[in-house]
Amino acid sequence: MGKRENRTKPPDPATLCKSKDPAAVRELLTKVGDKWSIFILLTLEMFPDCRARFSAVEKCIPGISQKMLTVTLRNLERDGMVSREIFPEVPPRVEYQLTKLGETLLEPLQALLDWVNANSEQVRKSQRLFDQK
Amino acid sequence: MGKRENRTKPPDPATLCKSKDPAAVRELLTKVGDKWSIFILLTLEMFPDCRARFSAVEKCIPGISQKMLTVTLRNLERDGMVSREIFPEVPPRVEYQLTKLGETLLEPLQALLDWVNANSEQVRKSQRLFDQK
DNA sequence: CAGTATCCTGCAAGATACTG
DNA sequence: CAGTATCTTGCAGGATACTG
């Protein structure tokens, strides 16, 4: 994985996707690469026990709408990345927690976010150069 | 990065994004997390010298349209992730190559794809459970 | 071969209002 | 508080045709 040495033969197209179903791989990749999913999962990690209520997550993610938070959380629950617990109180309280599966995604996602934080300035520079010609 | 220990205090919302401009971080994250960007960069890596022509890349990415390949390659070039060289021949030949910046993205992307390949079955299982209730 | 150009469509996602 | 429900809109992205 992540080999950098030169190759002398053209790659086999099947090498990238181990799956028989490339569309399914694409779809899941789209979901785990989604910005809101990434932010939500990494936000949950920051709380004690990887556990927080709806409003707490919302406060930590600038720019997310209530709708997108709801929708993305529901999808993450469906995918088995977070669990959802409802407390029968007034006013209502709902807590979300990373599952074990969700936790295994943290490292790759953090690596991606780290890359973005580290290189956004260089990317912007490249864009300016590209645009002025 | 990627710490897993429990915390006792709620996180500072600013912790996730080191940038002053959260929207810019979101935007770049969206781009590097895009499925076509990921496939293109990882595909280029598989060629000798991380270098291949348009049609060769196209063959390696099942399901991508010519339009999306063109558009995504142009964006990657603009962001400084790939370089583009045109050979004045007939028929025309255009080669794309990973830049140094692009190569630094390979490891995080490969980790993400590895996760997808390793866990897609479990995610599907979770989805079936969720859907039938 | 490696693109543009054009048309077209669905759906992602914002805004707003309502509620158990 | 943590959601639904509804309406609306932009634009991602497919299909197709053309070209240096």
Domain CATH for A119: 1.10.10.10
Q: Give the β-pairing of A93-98 and B82-87.
A: unpaired
Mutate to test the interface with B, among A115, A127, A129, A133 (most CBs of B within 10 A): A115
In percent, how much of chain A has pLDDT > 70?
A: 87
Taken in order A75, A78, A81, A83, is the CA torsion positive or negative?
positive
Q: Is the CB of B92 under 7 A from strand C?
A: yes
Alpha-carbon distance B11 to A59, whole Å? 10
A 74-103: CB within 7 Å of strand D:
74, 84, 91-94
Nucleotide closest to residue B96 (CA–C1'):
C2
CB contact under 8 A, B117 and A25: yes
Question: How many structural domains comprise chain B?
Answer: 1
pLDDT at B9 over 60: no
Apex A51 CA angle, B22 and A38, nearest 5: 35
CB contact under 8 A, B112 and A113: no
Q: Is the CB of A66 under 7 A from strand D?
A: yes
Nearest to A50 by CA among A120, A111, A114, A98: A98
Question: pLDDT tens digits for A85-122?
Answer: 999 999 999 999 999 999 999 999 999 999 999 999 99
Judge if the upstream peptide bond of residue B91 is cis by omega within 30 degrees of 0: yes
Closest residue to B110, CB basis, from A1, A32, A130: A1
**Residue A7: inside a domain, yes or no?**
no
Host domain of residue A115: 18-132
Alpha-carbon distance B107 to B132, whole Å? 37
Where residue A64 falls among pLDDT bands split at 50, 70, 90? very high
A 7-46: CB within 7 Å of strand D:
none
Alpha-carbon distance A39 to A45, whole Å? 10
pLDDT at A48 over 50: yes
Nearest to A9 by CA among B13, B56, B16, B122: B56
**Residue A8: inside a domain, yes or no?**
no
Nearest to A115 by CA among B7, B84, B111: B111
**Residue B11: inside a domain, yes or no?**
no
User: Which residue of B lies nearest to A119 if distances are taken between CA atoms?
Assistant: B101
Do residues B81 and B45 make contact, with C-beta atoms less than 8 angstroms apart? no
**Residue A3: inside a domain, yes or no?**
no
Question: pLDDT tens digits for B66-124?
Answer: 999 999 999 999 999 999 999 999 999 999 999 999 999 999 999 999 999 999 999 99
Nucleotide closest to residue B92 (CA–C1'):
C1
**Residue B10: inside a domain, yes or no?**
no
**Residue B114: inside a domain, yes or no?**
yes
**Residue B4: inside a domain, yes or no?**
no
**Residue A9: inside a domain, yes or no?**
no
